[in-house]
Structure 1
């Protein structure tokens, strides 16, 4: 009886301490990564990644502006922005690659205009999630 009580106690204590997003099976520990959730994607029936991509594409289309030079001519070229959605759900630009400064600044402006969202998680804890977006102006 004492052994049964001890086993029941240990099982109950172990399940009450378990983290959300962590699964233990035999000798394997699996963690679940959850992407950031864009505002309005909370009710997306489990497909938050697809909703995130859709909302990001929509955001890029709505905020895309072709930069002009001092003479009013459009500047053409490419830029690639590497950024993260940080632990608070805000976009943080790590790196902008491109040959023209004006294009780099415009690409950075578009990314920083992303709204704050619910941050991504790994094993139930907030985590930075990295992204890279190419721009062609």
Structure 2
């Protein structure tokens, strides 16, 4: 007799379902195992630590102490106090009135004008004078006037001086130096003539000749006429 199975009771038909259920269970168990938390064992309960309390530190409030300067001891009291009677008389100060009394005549002092003293310019050397003295007949600029002045003085000396005088005095032959100096004053006159010569008679002759120079246009310094000093050397030839 052949035993026939009920097709519904055949478990092979549900094998796929069982396999899926098993797979779902395995995944669930694995998920639970992964998500499970573990904690380390602790010994006792130390309580809760307040970090803010530890960070707060009590800073004591200090005050600056200023050292006291020792005071000087008071002066000793006098042994005996003498009472002096104030008998000194006080002089009263009389304040005079500054108001002018109409009945009193006012004397006005005469104002004396003081004449302004004109500045006196000393004599100036011919070499540094601003406006040189002008010899009659000379013209041109400052340098030309200087050259013309020296040339005309030499010409005057050569024409007026007695050339035979050195030979008459018996001087030794040769060249003899003569130094002449004079001043052209503020009016253009020749004054203060002096000379240095090898013989007194030659000196007198030189002074006489230089005093014969003509009147000149005076030199000026800062626009004012001044005395101008001039000096020149001459050479005399004695045969």
Q: TM-score, normalised by structure 2?
A: 0.38
Q: Distance in 2 between matches of 1:105 and 1:97?
A: 10
Larger Rg: 2
Q: Structure 1 or 2: larger helix share? A: 1
Q: Report the CA distance between 1:34 and its aligned residue.
A: 0.8
The structure with higher relative contact order (CA 8 Å, sep 6+) is: 1
Q: Report the CA distance between 1:92 and its aligned residue.
A: 1.2
Q: Flag structure 2 segments of 5+ consecutive residues without an equivalent.
A: 1-128
Q: How many residues align?
A: 103
Mapping 1:33-48, distance limit 5 Å:
33-41=130-138, 44-46=139-141, 47-48=144-145
* 8 Å Cα contact 2:193/2:207 also seen in 1: no
Cα 1:67–1:128 change in 2 (3 A) is farther
Two-structure CA RMSD over aligned residues (Å) = 2.5
Cα 1:91–1:67 change in 2 (3 A) is farther
Q: Report the CA distance between 1:60 and its aligned residue.
A: 1.7
1:88 corresponds, among 187, 212, 227, to 187
1:73 corresponds, among 168, 177, 197, to 168
Q: Structure 1 or 2: larger strand share? A: 1
Cα 1:83–1:49 change in 2 (3 A) is same
Q: Distance in 2 between matches of 1:118 and 1:130?
A: 14
Residue 112 (str. 1) matches residue 207 (str. 2): no
Q: Report the CA distance between 1:115 and its aligned residue.
A: 0.4
Q: Flag structure 1 segments of 5+ consecutive residues without an equivalent.
A: 1-31
Task: Find runs of 4+ consecutive structure 1 residues off by over 6 angstroms.
Answer: none
SS at match of 1:57: helix
Q: TM-score, normalised by structure 1?
A: 0.63
